[in-house]
Amino acid sequence: MPHTEQRVLIIGAGIIGLSIGWELARAGCQVDLFDRDEAGQGASSVAAGMLAPDAEIGFEETTLHALNTESRRRWPDFASKLEADTGADVGLRTEGTFIVADDRDAAEALRRRYRFQQNQGLEVEWQSGDEARDEEPFLAPHLSGAVWSPTDHQVDNQAVVKALQVAVEKHGGQLHEHTPIEAVVPNADRPGVVTNDGARVEGSTVIIAAGAWSQSIDGLNGALPIRPVKGEALRLKTKPTFDLQHVVRGPEAYVVPKNDGHVVVGATAEEKGFNDEVTARGLYKNLEGGWEVVPGLLDLPVTCTCASFRPASRDNAPVLGPVAPGIVAATGHYRHGILLTPVTAEEIARYVMTGTVSDWIEPFQPARFDAVSADLS
């Protein structure tokens, strides 16, 4: 079918749904995005915007790391195209990340991770606490060690989602906010969605990019085992006396300076369903964890406290590709939603337009969960 005759229905207008919608609308498809709330809210805005596959590499996650690295490689071009299309500044920063240890135990764990990073051929460098502090004076004194990861980037994720919304609409995409989708209706020719007021909308493809809510959409017999992993974070306003220049990951929290004069401190990780309370415990853990590695942040005014839900699959890797006739999954990005945006948008759009599952998304297809009951999510 020519792209101009394709009508693509996207469930979820977070950064993943918006970016896929942008790709497809630019290619000439008719795009409708449905969001249960408002576009770009939730995890897309609460996230800190780290593009840090090397700092966040998990042991035994080398296939995911390859996808993460590819997406980081694509970020500068993705950001330039989005900026050119909208005139927005999305705050891509390439100054690198310090991963730091504040005591002997943390230094031992960091050494182990550093050896794994070296073993994987990553561009990382071990530094003493003093060496790291020479580069980043806002680090705590007396750190037990640091790993310098120069190729990890960050972006202003809140600016990205705002720009994507403008860009989707500029290319004719229709945004339907406050429109929860109850169910999908698989069909190879005319798949559809059912809204919460019972209306049925048909298209040529349906994409599920509903993040932590992906499993609650009926019609797939539990084929998307996605659970919410709550994260709390806070934003502080910088002062002229506080000039942190790098992303800092400590053992208990990360601290991320943004171009708009804020610092994000996060994030907790808890599995307690869709409870979105911001708790005293969450604030305490983030502030204590942030203070241990960047003590100056305690003097900054708090502008925002927030919680959202990372969408995690059973193996904590993203779920990308066809899941039922006419239905495509683009969800389960867990800790890497902002990082994985370009590769997800481009490869899912490619699948919609050509029917080809690329080598990048092949290992992450939903079919890997078929053999096991969805009750085990």
Q: Which is nearer to ligand GLY, 30 or 71 (CB)?
A: 71
For 29-115, list the strands marked E by DSSP. Answer: 30-34, 50-51, 97-101
- Min dist. Cβ of residue 44 to ligand GLY (A): 12
Is the Cβ of residue 47 or residue 101 nearer to ligand GLY in the bound state? 47
Shortest separation between residue 247's beta carbon and ligand GLY, angstroms: 11
What is the C-alpha R_g of the chain?
21
Taking the least distance from each CB to ligand GLY, the nearer of 46 and 324 is 46
Contact in structure between 17 and 175 (CB atoms under 8 Å)? no
Q: In this chain, which of 162, 249, 262, 335 binds ligand GLY, going by CB under 6 A?
A: 335
**267 near ligand GLY, judged by CB under 6 A:** yes
Least distance from ligand GLY to the Cβ atom of residue 266, Å: 6
Segment 51 to 70, residues that bind ligand GLY, using CB under 6 A: 56
Q: Say if residues 226 and 313 touch (Cβ distance below 8 Å).
A: yes
Q: Name the residue nearer to ligand GLY (CB basis): 175 or 267.
A: 267
Which residues, numbered 33-52, are part of the site for ligand GLY (CB under 6 A)? 50
Residue closest to 165 by CA, chosen among 342, 35, 329, 310:
35
Q: How far is CA 212 from CA 226, 283, 334, in A?
A: 6, 22, 9
DSSP structure string for 298-365: GGSPEEEEEEEEEEEETTSS-EEEEEETTEEEEE--GGGTTTTHHHHHHHHHHHHHH----TTTGGG-
Q: Give the residue, chosen from 65, 72, 262, 310, that forms a contact with ligand GLY under the rule CB under 6 A.
A: 310
The least CB distance from residue 310 to ligand GLY, in Å, is: 6
Sign of CA dihedral 133, 138, 142, 144: negative
Interaction of residue 266 with ligand GLY, rule CB under 6 A: yes
Q: Does residue 231 interact with ligand GLY by CB under 6 A? A: yes
Give the interface with ligand GLY as residue ranges (CB under 6 A): 50, 56, 231, 266-267, 310, 335
